[in-house]
Amino acid sequence: MTSYSREQGLATSGITAIYEDKTGGIWIGTGNGVSKLINGRFVTLTERDGIPGRSVIAIQEDDRGHIWLA
């Protein structure tokens, strides 16, 4: 079992959603955004990436492979 925290790039403020996409990518919704596990480290998407820095409570992938956040 592997544990992840801020040291591995995971956004803080509590986990609100977890999603595994079609390619096996892991997405984590938190109280202040969304993070994706890439090469053993989480990358947190921010307003610079077009993601508002607020709570993400749902993550879903459509038939085209686009990720939707709520």
pLDDT digits 0-9 by tens, 15-65? 899 999 999 999 999 888 899 998 888 888 877 888 877 888 999 999 999
The pLDDT of residue 9 is: 79
Residue 27 backbone dihedrals phi, psi, to 5 degrees: -115, 135
Residues 52 and 21: their CA atoms lie apart, in Å, by 21
Residue 59 and residue 27 in contact, taking contact as beta carbons nearer than 8 Å: yes
32, 13 Cβ separation under 8 angstroms? yes
Residue 55 has a pLDDT of 85
Asked if the model's pLDDT at residue 11 lies above 80, the reply is no
DSSP 54: S
